[in-house]
Amino acid sequence: MMGGLRRNWSTRSLVKLSFIICLCRCIQSVRAQPGFLSIECCSDANYNDNLTAINWVSDKFWYPNYQDCAILRTGQDHQDYNRKRIFNSDVGNKWCYNLTTHKDQDYLVRATFLSGDQEKNPALSVFNVSIDATVIAQVNSDDSKIEVEGIFRATRDYVNFCLLKVQGAPHISKLELRPLTTDYLDRVPSSALNLIKRVDAGNKGDVRYPVDEYDRIWAADTYADPTVNFISSHNINITSSSYNNISFPPNQVLQTALTHPEKLQFLYDQLDPVYYRYDIILYFLELNESVKARERVFDIYINSINKSQVDIVGSGSSVLVVALNVTANGKLDLTMVKSPNGSKLGPILSAFEIMRAHPLNQETSQEEVGIMMDVKNELLEHNQDNEFLLSWSGDPCLPISWPGLVCQQVNGTSLVTNMNLSFRNLGGPVPHSITKLIHLEELDLRHNNLIGDVSEILASLPNLTSLYFGCNPNLHNGLPDSLNRTDLSTDYGKCTGHASRHSLQKVKIGVVAGVCTLGIIAAGVFLFCRKKRKVVFLSKFDGNEYPVTKNAIYSIPSTEIVRKSISVKAFSLDYIELATQKYKTLIGEGGFGSVYRGTLSDGEEVAVKVRSATSTQGTREFDNELNLLSAIRHENLVPLLGYCSEKDQQILVYPFMSNGSLQDRLYGEASKRKALDWPTRLSIALGSARGLAYLHTFPGRSVIHRDVKSSNILLDQSMNAKVADFGFSKYAPQEGDSTTSLEVRGTAGYLDPEYYSTQHLSAKSDVFSFGVVLLEIVTGREPLNINRPRNEWSLVEWAKPRIRNSRMDEIVDPNIKGGYHAEAMWRVVEVALACIEPYSAYRPCMADIVRELEDALIIENNASEYLKSIDSFGGSHRYSIERPIVILPTPVQTETSPILSQPPPPQPR
Ligand SMILES: *[C@@H]1O[C@H](CO)[C@@H](O)[C@H](O)[C@H]1NC(C)=O
Ligand SMILES: *[C@@H]1O[C@H](CO)[C@@H](O)[C@H](O)[C@H]1NC(C)=O
Ligand SMILES: *[C@@H]1O[C@H](CO)[C@@H](O)[C@H](O)[C@H]1NC(C)=O
Ligand SMILES: *[C@@H]1O[C@H](CO)[C@@H](O)[C@H](O)[C@H]1NC(C)=O
Ligand SMILES: *[C@@H]1O[C@H](CO)[C@@H](O)[C@H](O)[C@H]1NC(C)=O
Ligand SMILES: *[C@@H]1O[C@H](CO)[C@@H](O)[C@H](O)[C@H]1NC(C)=O
Ligand SMILES: *[C@@H]1O[C@H](CO)[C@@H](O)[C@H](O)[C@H]1NC(C)=O
Ligand SMILES: *[C@@H]1O[C@H](CO)[C@@H](O)[C@H](O)[C@H]1NC(C)=O
């Protein structure tokens, strides 16, 4: 039966195919639409496809080199083109095609990746595909042919289509750019779309240009269920072109359809298991002219959302278009079912499109891009085939920065703060454009053959703290010996050592001082200084003291580059009751009300917060939290999945955090089963600090959490920290706000004394509470415990004098004794102490804290490596609890180079 049907189908599709070919032949003289750009990578000549009138050009304009081309064995299913360009370089990480566009015009871009002979290319390659700074897909060379299609709106007169190396060498065979005048991006503004499926239901051959004027490919139907009927009608001639602003597919696509007496189901369960918004467009047309209104009525379900009572004829429009958006992770189940209320016929479907929305990543400012292009061009003039320079492609910072650059996100845009051109075999003058990179903090030009001098650079860059230019034989020093910028670390052009790059990379000792450095004043008063200062730490390792300078540069992956989109869903009360099995499992109670565990229809586990009638928080707080949470997204903040505000109920739905709260892990039930180790504590501290830093610097208006505590720091299945509970959050007061309207809120033991006494709320109140959390992390004690002796009730009051007197062994949680690096511990404790300063002005900001904790984590992570180098000198440092650091109040200039193959000799004080 099944075979019969199949054969039937293929005969029909043969007829169909010959029809397409005939149609195409007829329009041989047609010229391709203006604005089409079609690139065949590695082809040696341009080629005009007589069948489609598409003119293919070679990509030698972008990549003139043919050494990286491969010809694939023919005889595979893709016989039309068989070459690929392979981007194989040790240096590069990103390769872009810079394509000309018109600002504000929408485009479809389609790349074809052919892998070819797996025997000859056994190495798997994995790479990301991005449109400017926005990654839209990941490609895995496992499949012999992959097409990635994106839809975007041009923001200027060019777009960079990039391949980002993840593993192995990226490759590409074809790239097509097509202007669109349809409306895809109207429903999902500020996004780039990635096509998941575009199917011409009921058709067995692909339909594309010239039948589709935009050259969208309406893919052949691969629906396998033999009980589904294929129908077609060639009489269809739709003359209108759109419905609700959504343009119709070509007539030829509408002329075929699938239908079933009961239901049609399309299941995509291999999607990226991360929450994305999917835009789904369904095109319906009644092909059976005898069907009347209400005879064919069906319901559409996509995962949990549904649209009921679809009646094509009854709708009065020739083509009925249903556009639905849904947030999903991993799975989309698209089902059309005959309506239970007396419909005679089952569903019919002509075509559909599924697109995933990727929110646009803010690009680097055009000014900064322009300067970096100038630096590149100046260098290229004298270093034509330099592989390092040629690897500088696309946006300098995003989605990943050019080799040798480190960028920082400031005010929503990326700035170059660190440039390392060392060991790159560069000749010619030091590029003048570097003087325009005014945000530059570190510049390393060592081991090249540059000429000129660096005095101009030093004079133009106000924030430069490190300048190294040694080992350039023809580079004049230019710096006065009397240079007295104490904030600058430089080698004065001296060529120290003949270390190779290799050994430079190997040696990793050193302590990084953050931009805002913690200074300790003799009396034990801690102050954060906003200015950069060179600080030399003298560490007692092997009995001798030697300085560890801030020369070693670590790059910490920025966590904010890729923003995931999760749109907040409105759930019905019925759905919530179903998901929680009528509030069966209570997992917690908070100021807001009760928290229940539940499962959404797609299987996702959730925590459902239900406002209790006696809650002290009202509608105001509910809306407050809702508005805030739908705008705020950060990997260290618990995202809001949905809400329900039916029948006076106020319900919030969050993902379930399977590892509970930090509080529970530190001294709750969970801690009795297994104590949290120090590195995990440190990474939780850093994660939650990043989450809070994000809140405090939220674009537009700083957001204060107001109830930072360890029970509000939740842990996901990988023990990543996520700050929860924004119920108390408030927009930070701005000038003009009356501050008295804010009641003091917070939890005993965490409350900022200054806020309590003045009622003046600032981000520094969160900093105080976070300091208490850090103390909990270090000590494993609760912030307030009246079951302890009177002088130990308050954690802050108990810990403070002990820290100041360096009696660390008295306060560190006995569970982690012997399991931490003393210096990392000191960093954390010093930050904690600064955070709990009674006067908020003396407390650091969250960004400073993040930096300090990053340093602490680096120290902890490098501890073993670090120890090895120390152990060879017989010193034993780890776990020694005596105060390991002395910080000199005055900066000392030293000649220490990071190229330390052995510890340097003792330095006289
Ligand atoms: C396409 O048409 C041109 C002339 O119009 C002809 O010279 C060429 O051979 C044709 N190519 C193919 C592949 O048919
Ligand atoms: C590639 O994309 C994945 C998933 O979006 C992301 O986790 C990864 O960081 C990206 N890598 C690069 C090099 O862009
Ligand atoms: C469709 O209808 C339009 C206007 O009614 C007519 O101009 C066109 O030729 C028709 N096309 C076909 C394929 O019948
Ligand atoms: C998503 O679809 C719903 C209807 O299903 C609509 O109300 C809502 O506005 C859509 N959201 C966006 C952002 O288009
Ligand atoms: C892309 O090309 C345009 C000109 O076609 C040029 O102005 C622009 O700087 C290029 N951008 C990048 C990032 O390569
Ligand atoms: C951040 O952006 C705002 C507006 O876009 C601007 O007013 C402000 O000066 C910027 N701040 C910095 C530090 O650049
Ligand atoms: C220099 O650094 C300070 C403090 O970090 C910062 O406020 C300022 O914006 C920076 N200046 C530039 C030009 O980046
Ligand atoms: C150091 O700098 C100050 C001003 O910045 C200047 O007055 C002084 O002469 C400088 N000292 C030396 C030794 O160059």
Comparing 254 with 537, which gets the higher pLDDT? 254
Q: What's the 412 CA to ligand 6 centre distance in angstroms?
A: 9
End-to-end CA distance of the chain: 93
As a three-state string, the secondary structure of 572-587 is CHHHHHHHCCCCCEEE
Residue 390 has pLDDT above 80, yes or no: yes
Task: Quickly state the pLDDT bin for 601 (edges 50, 70, 90).
Answer: confident
**Nearest atom (ligand 7) to Cα of 530:** 4
Which residues are paired to 366 by β-bridges? none
Indicate if ligand 7 lies below 6 Å from the C-beta of 460.
no
CA distance 724 to 287: 53
Q: What is the DSSP string of 165-207?
A: EEES--EESEEEEEEE-S-HHHHSTTEEEEEEEEEETT-SS-B
Residue 68 CB contacts under 8 Å (≥ 6 apart), including other chains: 42, 85, 86, 87, 88
pLDDT at 743: 59
Q: Whose CA is nearest to atom 10 of ligand 4?
A: 325
CA distance 444 to 466: 8
Instruction: Please report how the helices 795-804 and 822-835 are oriented relative to each other, as an axis angle in degrees rounded to 10.
Output: 120
**Nearest atom (ligand 2) to Cα of 166:** 13
Q: Whose CA is nearest to atom 4 of ligand 8?
A: 484
Residue 858 CB contacts under 8 Å (≥ 6 apart), including other chains: 512, 554, 556
Exposure string of 360-396, with b = 16+ CB inside 10 Å and e = fewer, is bbbbbbeebbebbebbbebbbeebeebebbbbbbbbb
CA distance 629 to 638: 9
Indicate if ligand 4 lies below 6 Å from the C-beta of 630.
no
CA distance 498 to 899: 9
CA distance 388 to 403: 8
Task: Quickly state the pLDDT bin for 144 (edges 50, 70, 90).
Answer: confident
CA 548 to chain centroid, in Å, comes to: 34
Indicate if ligand 2 lies below 6 Å from the C-beta of 136.
no
Residue 905 has pLDDT above 70, yes or no: no
CA distance 95 to 161: 8
Task: Quickly state the pLDDT bin for 628 (edges 50, 70, 90).
Answer: low
**3-state SS class at 244:** coil
Task: Quickly state the pLDDT bin for 34 (edges 50, 70, 90).
Answer: confident
Of 199-203, 703-707, 775-779, the one with minimum mean pLDDT is 703-707
CA distance 197 to 610: 38
Residue 732 has pLDDT above 60, yes or no: no
Indicate if ligand 3 lies below 6 Å from the C-beta of 237.
yes
Q: What is the mean pLDDT of residues 222-244?
A: 81
Residue 682 has pLDDT above 80, yes or no: yes
Indicate if ligand 8 lies below 6 Å from the C-beta of 484.
yes
Give the count of alpha carbons within 13 A of 731, CB side only.
15
Task: Yes or no: say if 319 and 354 are a contact pair by the CB < 8 Å rule.
Answer: no
Residue 20 has pLDDT above 70, yes or no: no
Query: Kindly report the CA angle at 190 between 188 and 194, in degrees rounded to 5?
Result: 65
Q: Which of 490-494, 543-547, 747-751, 797-801 has the highest mean pLDDT?
A: 797-801
Kindly name the residue from 59, 707, 725, 752 that is annotated as catalytic: 707
**Nearest atom (ligand 8) to Cα of 480:** 14
pLDDT at 32: 55
Q: What is the mean pLDDT of residues 217-246?
A: 82
CA distance 787 to 808: 23
Of 397-401, 573-577, 826-830, 877-881, the one with minimum mean pLDDT is 877-881
Query: pLDDT exceeding 70 applies to what percent of the chain?
Result: 76
Choose among 175, 213, 200: nearest CA to 53.
213
Residue 239 CB contacts under 8 Å (≥ 6 apart), including other chains: none
Choose among 129, 105, 127, 246: nearest CA to 195.
129
CA distance 86 to 67: 9
Model pLDDT for residues 335-353, shown as the tens digit of each residue: 999 998 888 999 999 999 9
Task: Quickly state the pLDDT bin for 611 (edges 50, 70, 90).
Answer: confident
The ligand placed nearest to the CA atom of residue 94 is: 2
Of 142-146, 496-500, 793-797, the one with minimum mean pLDDT is 496-500
Give the count of alpha carbons within 13 A of 560, CB side only.
21
Strands 54-58 and 37-40 turn out to be: parallel
pLDDT at 612: 57
**Nearest atom (ligand 5) to Cα of 373:** 9
Mutate to test the pocket of ligand 4, among 325, 334, 567, 568 (most ligand atoms within 8 A of CB): 325
- The arrangement of strands across the sheet holding 332-338 comes to 263-268, 332-338, 297-302, 305-311
> Is the four-CA dihedral 528, 534, 535, 541 of positive or negative sign?
positive
Q: Whose CA is nearest to atom 12 of ligand 4?
A: 187
Indicate if ligand 8 lies below 6 Å from the C-beta of 482.
yes
Mutate to test the pocket of ligand 5, among 61, 62, 94, 98 (most ligand atoms within 8 A of CB): 98
Q: Is the peptide bond preceding residue 179 cis, with omega within 30 degrees of 0?
A: no
Q: What is the mean pLDDT of residues 368-376?
A: 95
Query: Kindly report the CA angle at 38 between 35 and 43, in degrees rounded to 5?
Result: 150
Comparing 873 with 451, which gets the higher pLDDT? 451
Choose among 883, 796, 784, 805: nearest CA to 832.
796
In this structure, how many other beta carbons lie within 10 angstroms of the beta carbon of residue 618? Answer: 11
Q: Whose CA is nearest to atom 7 of ligand 8?
A: 484
**Nearest atom (ligand 4) to Cα of 305:** 5
Choose among 657, 656, 650: nearest CA to 570.
650
- The arrangement of strands across the sheet holding 229-232 comes to 229-232, 256-259, 348-349
Indicate if ligand 8 lies below 6 Å from the C-beta of 481.
no
CA distance 30 to 53: 6
Q: Whose CA is nearest to atom 10 of ligand 3?
A: 237
pLDDT at 744: 64
Q: What's the 237 CA to ligand 3 centre distance in angstroms?
A: 6
Residue 8 has pLDDT above 70, yes or no: no
Indicate if ligand 4 lies below 6 Å from the C-beta of 307.
no
Residue 791 has pLDDT above 70, yes or no: yes
Task: Yes or no: say if 222 and 310 are a contact pair by the CB < 8 Å rule.
Answer: no
Mutate to test the pocket of ligand 2, among 125, 135, 358, 393 (most ligand atoms within 8 A of CB): 135
Of 32-36, 278-282, 480-484, 801-805, the one with minimum mean pLDDT is 480-484
Task: Yes or no: say if 16 and 205 are a contact pair by the CB < 8 Å rule.
Answer: yes
Model pLDDT for residues 539-575, shown as the tens digit of each residue: 333 333 333 322 222 223 333 323 333 467 888 888 8
Annotated binding site for ATP: 609
707 as an active site residue: the answer is: yes
Indicate if ligand 3 lies below 6 Å from the C-beta of 239.
yes
Residue 325 has pLDDT above 80, yes or no: yes
Q: What is the mean pLDDT of residues 580-598?
A: 82
Choose among 199, 193, 223, 194: nearest CA to 353.
199
**3-state SS class at 528:** strand
